[in-house]
Amino acid sequence: MGANSKLTIAIHALVWAALNERQGSTYSTSEEIANSIKTNPVVVRRMMSDLTKAGLIESRRGAGWRLSVPAEKMTLWDINLALGPEETFALHRNEPSATCPVARGIRPALRSTFARVDEVVRQELARTTLADVFDETLSPSQN
Amino acid sequence: MGANSKLTIAIHALVWAALNERQGSTYSTSEEIANSIKTNPVVVRRMMSDLTKAGLIESRRGAGWRLSVPAEKMTLWDINLALGPEETFALHRNEPSATCPVARGIRPALRSTFARVDEVVRQELARTTLADVFDETLSPSQN
DNA sequence: ACCTTAAGTAACATTTAATGTTACTCTTTC
DNA sequence: GAAAGAGTAACATTAAATGTTACTTAAGGT
């Protein structure tokens, strides 16, 4: 499958939960969230389970989840890290030739190059909080 | 399939061609390159075709390809752009709910967030040249 | 205690993008 | 005009993401 939309789903779920809490509910359920995202509740539960393990939210069986970190303190990198971040670019799927000097040297060279890319992605995600996305999502220009 | 290794394949091919040219050959063929990468020649031709269209290399039927931009002037972003860059993070695969305010507002919010991420990736790739990767690939520590 | 609700999770199905492969046509060089 | 190798269409294969069903487990309310 193509690109990674896990982060999109997670942020959507968290913004939904944040709004739900702001409107007076304590817990949000996988069914409510799946409804907004238009996906299956199990997909939501699976993903929320990762966020729970990372301590970003807390679950209560029979009730749902609530944020355990304030939206202002939760960065998009925290969320992405909880989901198990993927590298922006992948190395070769198969080991390249063992006899060719280019093939032998290219992997370490690209590893360090791609690590720098991943680092700037990390920095950019760490700069944005869930509250930032929340505000932009619900800004008047969207209604 | 998982992550995007097209850029890896392209850089590998270009470093191979650069070395080949430095060693006196004018043209490099899809079979030679595929041999080093351990993939099918058609995969190489397909990808090289994109690089040709972008003007980074030039092809001659019956002979192969050669660089048309010096390795010092060709950035990894030029290469990635030629391949048709993918976005680092994808939005929802399916349209989310039309009635939920979160679902309606989240896409524009994420679009701008993810655009900033793509921009820092672009900047980082533009900072590294094919010559940089060439040198690191063939550096003594790799032999 | 019992019932209801909803999370947690295993197992399997489906979808889709990337990659691999075959086979053929088209240019260029010799 | 023969050989080499790019260009490309068409199809096969692989593998990851996502969707779905069905069941188990924990918590709260009656």
Average pLDDT over residues A5-27: 96
A36-56 in b/e burial notation, b at 16+ Cβ within 10 A?
Answer: bbebeeebbbebbebbbebeb
Residues 28-87 of B with CB under 8 A from A: 35-39, 76, 86-87
List the beta bridge partners of residue A28: A65
Whether CB of A63 is under 7 Å from strand D: the answer is yes
* Ramachandran area for residue B30 (φ above 0: left; ψ -120 to 50: alpha; else beta): alpha
Please give the mean pLDDT across all residues of chain A.
93
pLDDT at B93: 85
State pLDDT tens for residues B88-110: 999 988 888 888 999 999 999 99
Contact: A12, B86; criterion CB under 8 Å:
no
Q: Hey, how many other C-beta atoms are within 10 angstroms of the C-beta on A111? A: 12
What are residue A28's phi and psi, to 5 degrees?
-120, 140
Q: Does B23 touch chain A (CB under 8 A)?
A: no
CB B117 within 8 A of CB A84: no
Report which residue type is found at A87. Answer: E
**Closest chain B C-alpha to A71 CA, distance in angstroms:** 15
Among A53-57, B32-36, B136-140, which stretch is predicted with the lowest mean pLDDT?
B136-140
- Evaluate if the CB of B1 falls below 7 Å from strand D: yes
% of chain B at pLDDT higher than 90: 85
Question: For residue B141, how many other CB atoms are within 10 A of its CB?
Answer: 7
Interface test with A, best of B110, B112, B139, B141 (most A CBs within 10 A): B110
Q: What is the pLDDT of residue A1?
A: 41
- Tens digit of pLDDT for each residue in B22-38? 999 999 999 999 999 99
For the cut 80, the answer to whether the pLDDT of residue B3 exceeds it is no
Task: Give the CA radius of gyration of chain B.
Answer: 19
Average pLDDT (A41-55) is 97
For chain A, count helices (H), then strands (E).
6, 2
How far does the CA of residue A1 sit from the closest CA of chain B (Å)? 5
Q: Which two tokens stand for residue A5?
A: 């939309």
Rounded mean pLDDT, A24-36: 96
Q: Which of B89, B94, B95 is nearest to B112 (CA)?
A: B89
Q: Is the CB of B95 under 7 A from strand D?
A: no
For residue A95, what pLDDT is reported?
81
Q: With an 8 Å Cβ cutoff, are A16 and B100 in contact?
A: yes
Q: What's the CA gap between A81 and B126, in Å, rounded?
A: 26
Give the SS3 label for residue A44.
Answer: helix
pLDDT at res. A97: 79
Sequence-ordered list of residues with C-beta below 8 angstroms from that of B11, at least 6 positions apart, any chain: A106, A110, B76, B79, B130, B133
What are B43-75's pLDDT values in tens digits? 999 999 999 999 999 999 999 999 999 999 999
Structural domains of chain B in order of their starting residue, each with its CATH number? 6-142 (1.10.10.10)
Q: What is the pLDDT of residue A11?
A: 97
- Would the pLDDT of A14 be above 50? yes
Q: What's the pLDDT at A96?
A: 83
